[in-house]
Amino acid sequence: MSETNTCQRELEIEIPAEAVERETERVTRAFARQARLPGFRPGKAPATLVRQRFWDDIRSEVLHHLIPESLQNAIKEKNLSPVGDPSIADLRFEPQQPLRFKATFEVLPEIRLNEYKGLEVEPARVELTEEDLERELEALRQRAATYEEVNDRAAGDGDTVVASLVGVVTEPKEKRDPIRLEEVSVEIAGEGTLGAFSEGLRGARPGEERQFSVPYPADYPEANLAGRTVAFTAEVKSLKRRIAPALDDAFAQKVSEAKTLDELKTKMRERLEQARAQRERELTEGRLLEALLVRHDFPVPEALIERQLDARLERQVRGFLAQGIDPRRLQVDWGKLRREQRPSATRDVRLGLLLDRIAAAEKLEPAEEEINQEVERLAAQSGQEPAALRARLTKEGGLGRIASAVRSEKVIELLRSHARFTAPSRG
């Protein structure tokens, strides 16, 4: 056995000629029972003639049986843990001769555990201010706003323009069908509204037609528009102004179960505090895991990185489909996207391997009850019945992923319970 890198292994395997001949004879007999050759009844043709006539097929069948079996035995004998499919090379197979080949594959790395208990990190701090509460309250107020149609003036900041849009991509030059959008609502100078839309529709009146170009940023969420410039023709249908309710007890009763505005503020403050504590916990956990990774250096199998990248891109494709977007029609450079995600995918694989290694050292395994609780949580989150979700996960092999996630959480809790949290730095 030779090593071409720290995760890759190469085995040179030789199967004795006697074993190869026995398998060849077995396969030949199986072919002879079905063979139809001129001058012979079915199953009565001589083995030598059958071997000569169907040699390519017989050879393929022999290799199909002997290579996996001998490779599995060699891997077991050397106590290796391969990942991914092996690559077969230098295959030599001739009648009456030993069968020789080389198998190259990757194995799980040997991870030597260094310090993982007593990791020293500074806990994350997230501040919650009265301004945060006011922003949340104002956002709730704006969501409860009503709209009143306006006909006696032009559109100004804060107004909503309802328009039908036809867009043509002008940069880069490409053959695409025009973009047609009916009854689109655009809030002038609103949060999340692209500046070009606000500029193009500010001052517009119902019945008016406006033309303007929109340069979409490269990181725009809709991949079919990101980095493109679109020339729009907008037919203004109507103009509406937002009327936000007053902040009083009536408002509190309308948007919640609170009886007074003060009670609503108290409940919102409690929710924000819970969110703040959760965010602090997540950020601190991230620092803890980074400290863990810094103390452990080991190679990562390429097969696992590729598998992680496949899973990430599949999730993105499913996300497009969930939005009703056909990924095949998007101008997405999937190769570039894959390259950009490689560093974070490698980090995720390294972390997963390390957490599994610590779980094995600490003998941490998820109990059936813990897996059931996680299934119930996911079911509630997605609005499914727990039994139905569990059946689907069992069919798709998803319970293993849930067990792995629960195991990782147990390791993270172990790291947290033994961590040394330092005082926040000043400055």
pLDDT single digits (tens) 10-50: 999 999 999 999 999 999 888 888 777 777 777 777 888 88
**Average pLDDT along the chain:** 90
pLDDT given at position 244: 92
Answer whether residue 74 shows pLDDT above 90.
Answer: yes
Tokens matching residue 6? 């720290």
Answer whether residue 426 shows pLDDT above 70.
Answer: no
pLDDT given at position 382: 83
Answer whether residue 85 shows pLDDT above 60.
Answer: yes
Sign of CA dihedral 266, 272, 277, 280: negative
Tokens matching residue 420? 């040394």
Q: Lowest-pLDDT range, 212-216, 393-397, 402-406? A: 393-397
Stretch 210-218: mean pLDDT, rounded?
92
Q: Amino acid identity of 227?
A: G
CATH class of 302-421: mainly alpha
The DSSP code sequence of 237-273 is EEEEEEEPPPSSHHHHHHHSS-SSHHHHHHHHHHHHH
Are the C-beta atoms of 101 and 92 separated by less than 8 Å? Answer: yes
What CATH number should be reported for the domain whose range is 146-243? 3.10.50.40
pLDDT single digits (tens) 107-163: 999 999 999 999 999 999 999 999 999 999 999 998 999 999 999 999 999 999 999
N- to C-terminal Cα separation, the chain: 56
pLDDT given at position 95: 80
Domain with CATH 1.10.3120.10 in the chain: 302-421
How big is the CA angle at 128 (ends 122 and 131), to the nearest 5 degrees?
Answer: 145
What CATH number should be reported for the domain whose range is 8-107? 3.30.70.1050
Who has greater pLDDT, 199 or 336? 199
In whole angstroms, give the CA distance from residue 173 to residue 186.
Answer: 27
pLDDT given at position 289: 97
Domain with CATH 3.10.50.40 in the chain: 146-243
Which percentage of the chain shows pLDDT scores above 90? 63
pLDDT given at position 425: 64
Domain with CATH 3.30.70.1050 in the chain: 8-107
Sign of CA dihedral 402, 408, 414, 419: negative
Answer whether residue 362 shows pLDDT above 70.
Answer: yes
